[in-house]
Amino acid sequence: MSIEDVLSRIDSDLPAATERLLELLRIPSISTDPAYKADCDRAADWLVADLQSMGIDASKRATPGHPMVVGHLGDGGPHLLFYGHYDVQPVDPLNLWDRDPFDPEVQDTPKGKVIRGRGSSDDKGQLMTFVEALRAWKEVKGDWPCRITFFLEGEEESGSPSLVPFMKENAEELKTDVALICDTGLFESKTPAIVTMLRGLLGEELTVKAASKDLHSGMYGGIAMNPIRALSKVIAGLHDETGRVTIPGFYDGVPELPDELEAQWQGLAFNHEAFLSDVGLAIPAGEQDRTPLEMIWSRPTCEVNGIWGGYTGDGFKTVLPSMAHAKISFRLVGSQDPLAIRENFRTMVEDALPDDCEVTFHGHGASGASGADISGPMFEQARQALSEEWNVPAAYIGCGGSIPIAGHFQQILGTEPMLIGFGKDDDALHSPNEKYDMESFHKGIRSWARILDALT
């Protein structure tokens, strides 16, 4: 039986594969919210059962947080690892969803069929592309392509607190020739891509406290320090007029783009006007002396992800609040040191606040950037397989998002990460009405079958 038979089997099994994905999407496995702990567990159980049904030696492995799903199959050939995550982002603001985020369905749209629901693209749909490719392979060929280890986590959307300890404790079991990671996208929705450059992520939550209790702004307004005003000033000072981040030492370890990569990226002819206009914007808002692709792939950023303080309900309340809060994250590149930046950020905030304000910090993960070494033959084999499936040369690209696991594979296991995914720019990751194109799902499954064929 040839690879063509496997691809045919994938085509004919697509309706059943879609039903399986919808089943997994119905489980609200929001890892960041403790109220959904049992649901995360249920999603892990579902995956264990599905892998076992294929004859894979899979099990749920406890951690202090949500469980890992680990599975082993096959022998001989290269030893591959497949990584994905079964947890999903929170769904607020819920009122902006057109349907229940956990009642997924296949919808016809002007751009084609989509699978709509939280986690459809990030990352349950992507995760299942690999599972379905392997299922079809086994059904058609009666055997596995090579030795493969599954490693699925349930804490990716909440900073992966259990990941590093688990990898260290189970290093021998998880060490493989390459780690296939399916949590990225196509390039501009058309070109398959292998991500070779990933930004790191540093998360900080801060609370600025002024008065010991909420005050009446009539009685205290003017004389009492307003913590929202103080926090706003701190946030306004995080960037200078040219869009550069002002934290001392922030750009230490930020490399200039190598000439050859710069040339390749220019060849991609990235249409930043279209990229921005898709979401109602027009003007690149980053460092003014950088290209749009640099802004999203190779330059570090500082973004406020949330802010709150005082009265935020309907109507008006003339309160002078006691506290104001913000969640701020940094995307890191090159050899920027997350812990040094955290320290410099905190010192800068403390120095910037007026004497009548106190600040407390809560860290939310700190991972450096990573890049893959693409010199081995496997990267080129996978790139060829992708190019065949999509009928267009696959690209090596950067990625603005942070997938800390890529760095962990390198540093803890010495395993090179290969990031291949099929998401599109308009998938609404982390947003209301998340979707995954049926084309992404279908051709994603087919892509993995071709890659498995090329690597073995």
Q: Kindly state whether residue 64 participates in binding a copy of itself, applying the rule CB under 8 A.
A: no
Applying CB under 8 A, the span of 2-10, 186-194, 225-233, 338-346 interacting with a copy of itself comes to 225-233
Q: How far apart are CA 389 and CA 446, in angstroms?
A: 7
| Residue 81 touching a copy of itself (CB under 8 A) | no
- Considering only residues 107 to 136 of the shown chain, the ones binding a copy of itself according to CB under 8 A are none
Please state, in angstroms and rounded to a whole number, the distance separating the CA atoms of residues 198 and 368. 9
Note whether 311 binds a copy of itself by CB under 8 A: yes
301 binds a copy of itself (CB under 8 A): yes
Which of residues 18 and 31 has its CB atom nearest to a copy of itself in the complex?
31
CA distances to 339, 384, 422, 443 from 447, in Å: 38, 10, 9, 6
Amino acid at 128: M
**φ and ψ of 151, to 5 deg:** -145, 100
Q: By rule CB under 8 A, what count of residues binds a copy of itself?
A: 100
Q: Which of the residues 316 through 345 are near a copy of itself (CB under 8 A)?
A: 316-321, 324-327, 329, 331
Distance CA 10, CA 451 (A): 14
Among residues 108, 259, 260, 314, which is the contact residue for a copy of itself, using CB under 8 A? 314
Nearest by Cα to 189 from 274, 285, 280: 274
For 416: left if phi > 0, alpha if psi spans -120 to 50, otherwise beta; the answer is beta
Based on the shown chain and the rule CB under 8 A, indicate whether residue 258 belongs to the binding site for a copy of itself: no
List the one residue from 126, 336, 402, 415 that touches a copy of itself (CB under 8 A). 402
How far apart are alpha carbons 109 and 438 in whole angstroms? 11
One symbol per residue from 86 to 105: x for binding a copy of itself (CB under 8 A), - otherwise; what is it? ---xx-xx--x---------
Could you give the string, one character per residue 152-171, with x where binding to a copy of itself holds by CB under 8 A and - elsewhere?
-----xxx------------
Q: Which of 428, 449, 452, 455 binds a copy of itself (CB under 8 A)?
A: 428
Part of the chain binding a copy of itself (CB under 8 A), chosen from 29-37, 64-72, 112-120, 374-382: 29-37
Residues with Cβ < 8 Å from 30, sequence gap 6 or more? 36, 39, 40, 87, 88, 89, 90, 91, 157
Part of the chain binding a copy of itself (CB under 8 A), chosen from 59-67, 162-170, 226-234, 407-415: 226-234
Contact with a copy of itself (CB under 8 A) among 307, 348, 374, 412:
307
* Nearest residue to 6 (alpha-carbon basis) of 136, 165, 161: 136
